[in-house]
Amino acid sequence: MQTAHNSHHHGHSHSHSPSNYGRAFAIGIILNTIFIAVEIVYGFMSHSLALVADAGHNLGDVLGLFLAWGATALGRRAATERHSYGLQRSTVLAALANAVFLLVAVGAIVWEAIQRFSIPSSIAAQTVIWVAMAGIVINAGTAMMFLSGRKGDLNIRGAFLHMAADAVISAGVVAGGVIIMFTGWQWVDPALSLSLSAAIVYGAWKLLRDSLNLALDAVPEGIDVAAVRAYLLGLPAVMDAHHLHIWGLSTTEAALTVHLVLTDTQWSNELLHDINHELHERFGIGHATIQFEPVSDVACYSENCH
């Protein structure tokens, strides 16, 4: 009996590590922690649920920033025998946790707003306006520090969305304070809280969906599997591509494994370099493992020969 053995060729390439946003995280956490204390104090003094609700939301954001920062640091650790890919996956978990924290915070805000409709209280609109204006400056400034990394890193996008949403929410609180100041309509405060909650849910939903997909090893957003397959099948001497898998190692790095059936294995060494380069440059896949199989082996398997 004669047994055919597949030849194995493994190519590995790695994308650059994500940018270090340590300073941005530190500044954002410090500024927002101070602002939370100010919002809580003046929120209770002015009887503004919108202000207190925003403080609660900001507290969740500070925890989220801590998570994102910690995950970024863990993702930079070198691989070990036990964690052969390193701890890059922690950035996915941080993004997922951030989305969950946002949704939990919304639930608390909505419940309190409903209670406030039945028991309205007088609000010091002018105080609310000034505090919320400070929030616009702090949150928008923090968001800008994460602006450059929001497209390439889901973890950084989570931090950016938190801060950008807070800036918009603070602007809404200012608008509500102005309306109350000129009209005396106290119901505007809980109504505004409900509107802001809807805005938070809208922003958190996509973050939850994308991070959950990555946690379940779905193909990262922005990578077209059909295009990758078409590229591989268009290579010289490649007759077939199977066992194609693409998943996210982290919020910034993607991995791929595939078996390529070659009509002529003499192409293998040249192909290996070209494939790794093109997968990285065209599709953003920085870690590829390719197994080459001679066409004779595939034919033998299909015919059950010995």
CATH number at residue 49: 1.20.1510.10
**270 vs 286, which has greater pLDDT?**
286
What percentage of the chain exceeds 70 in pLDDT? Answer: 83
Whether 249 is in a domain gets the answer: yes
pLDDT at 244 over 90: yes
Domain boundary among 193, 215, 237: 215
Model confidence pLDDT, tens digit, residues 214-240:
888 889 888 899 999 999 999 888 889
Domain boundary among 165, 183, 215: 215
Whether residue 109 contacts residue 54, with contact meaning beta carbons closer than 8 Å, is answered with no
Per-residue pLDDT, averaged over 118-134, amounts to 76
191 and 241 in a single domain? The answer is: no
Helix locations, the chain, DSSP H:
22-46, 49-75, 90-118, 125-145, 154-183, 188-215, 225-233, 268-283, 295-303
CA distance 99 to 130: 29
Residues in the chain: 306
Whether 172 is in a domain gets the answer: yes
Phi, psi of 10 (to 5 degrees): -120, 125
CA distance 172 to 135: 11
CA distance 66 to 34: 15
Domain that residue 100 falls in: 22-215
Model confidence pLDDT, tens digit, residues 54-102:
677 677 778 778 777 777 777 777 777 787 777 778 878 887 887 887 7
CATH number at residue 248: 3.30.70.1350
Residue 141: pLDDT band (50, 70, 90) is: confident
Dihedral of CA atoms 197, 199, 203, 209 in degrees, nearest 10, equals 60
Model confidence pLDDT, tens digit, residues 32-65:
888 888 878 877 777 766 677 667 767 777 877 8
Instruction: Determine how many CB atoms are found less than 10 A away from the CB of residue 81.
Output: 5
Model confidence pLDDT, tens digit, residues 4-18:
333 344 444 344 444
- pLDDT given for residue 267 in this prediction: 61
143 and 101 in a single domain? The answer is: yes
Highest mean pLDDT among 35-39, 126-130, 136-140: 136-140
Tokens of 9: 């060729």
- pLDDT given for residue 19 in this prediction: 55
Residue 284: pLDDT band (50, 70, 90) is: confident
